[in-house]
Amino acid sequence: MKDMHNHILFSIDDGSKDIETSIAMLKNAQESGIDEMILTPHYILNSKYNANNKKKLALLEELKKRSVEENINIKLHLGNEVWADEGIPDLIKKGEISTLNNSRYVLIEFPLHNEDKRAQQIIFEIISHNYIPIIAHPERYDYLKKDPDKVEDYLRLGALLQGNYLSLFGKYGTGAKKTLKYYIKKGYITFFGSDIHRSTDDFKCERFEKKLYKLVKKNQKLFEDLTYGNITKIIENKEIDRSY
């Protein structure tokens, strides 16, 4: 498996607090079967989570070096989970935020509890600058739990969806679990991520793969795309084929 959403980069957000914690998280990931990750620290404008790319890259290089010393064989790439805002294209140009491995793909997050009425405009603005927005964990947004088909408004504009696979195990409640299952069955999810924040969290990769294989009705191509293929295309900055 590959993981495109996590908070393993240290001393930068509400995830890993230091490099030792990051190493412990990477060891857990490797033991669980993950071989490649895009690290996605929060970027929230006008908050304490606003490290620019220069700082993030320095931390990433430090983590890569330590990973080699610890015999961790996971390829690490840089990204961000960016709080949704119409100024995202400008933040990319200024080097404040990172797309996913310098690709056209950018991971964005909306408020969990209240619908952002600017959501469609934000998505349109990102796409108009030739970037592709990926919406993080839509199953966790309260308004989408109540009306899951509302996400079609975002899909029609060209946004893609990333589910937190730990939602399937009830980590975020029964509403998120039910909504993610619905989105998988409808074919709305294009990527999965762990959204891991702590060293004690279990990646549950093997259990997730078994559960997902049943949910996609043993569609081998779709299963492979969702577990690693589509994330590989992000890393290589290739187009995503969603015709199943």
Domain 2-234, CATH: 3.20.20.140
Please determine, for residue 100, whether its predicted confidence score (pLDDT) is greater than 90: yes
pLDDT band for position 244 (cuts 50, 70, 90): very low
Please determine, for residue 104, whether its predicted confidence score (pLDDT) is greater than 60: yes
- Look at residue 107 in the predicted model and tell me its pLDDT: 98
Q: pLDDT tens, 127-167?
A: 999 999 999 999 999 999 999 999 999 999 999 999 999 99
What average pLDDT score do residues 106-135 get?
A: 97
Encode burial over 150-184: b for 16+ CB neighbours within 10 A, e otherwise: ebeebbebebbbbbbbbbbeebbeebbbebbbbbb
Beta bridge partners of 83: 109
Q: pLDDT tens, 195-231?
A: 999 888 889 999 999 999 999 999 999 999 999 999 9
5, 162 contact by CB (below 8 A):
yes
Calculate the CA 29 to chain-centre distance.
15
**Reduced to 3 states, what is the DSSP secondary structure of residue 196?**
strand
Q: In angstroms, rounded to a whole number, what is the distance separating the alpha carbons of residues 82 and 197?
A: 16
Closest to 201 in 3D by CA, of 181, 226, 171: 171
- Site of tokens 């293929």: 229
Please determine, for residue 242, whether its predicted confidence score (pLDDT) is greater than 80: no
- Look at residue 109 in the predicted model and tell me its pLDDT: 98
Closest to 186 in 3D by CA, of 223, 145, 215, 218: 215
- Site of tokens 């914690």: 21
Calculate the CA 84 to chain-centre distance.
14
What does the mean pLDDT of the chain come to?
96
Tokens of 94: 């200024």
pTM > 0.85: yes or no: yes
| Rounded to 5°, angle at Cα 235 from 100 and 72 | 95
- Look at residue 200 in the predicted model and tell me its pLDDT: 80
Q: CB-hemisphere CA count at 13 Å for 156?
A: 8
Q: pLDDT tens, 45-85?
A: 999 999 999 999 999 999 999 999 999 999 999 999 999 99
- Look at residue 199 in the predicted model and tell me its pLDDT: 84
SS3 letters across 67-129: HHHCCCCCEEEECCEEECCCCHHHHHHCCCCCCHHHCCEEEEECCCCCCCCCHHHHHHHHHHC
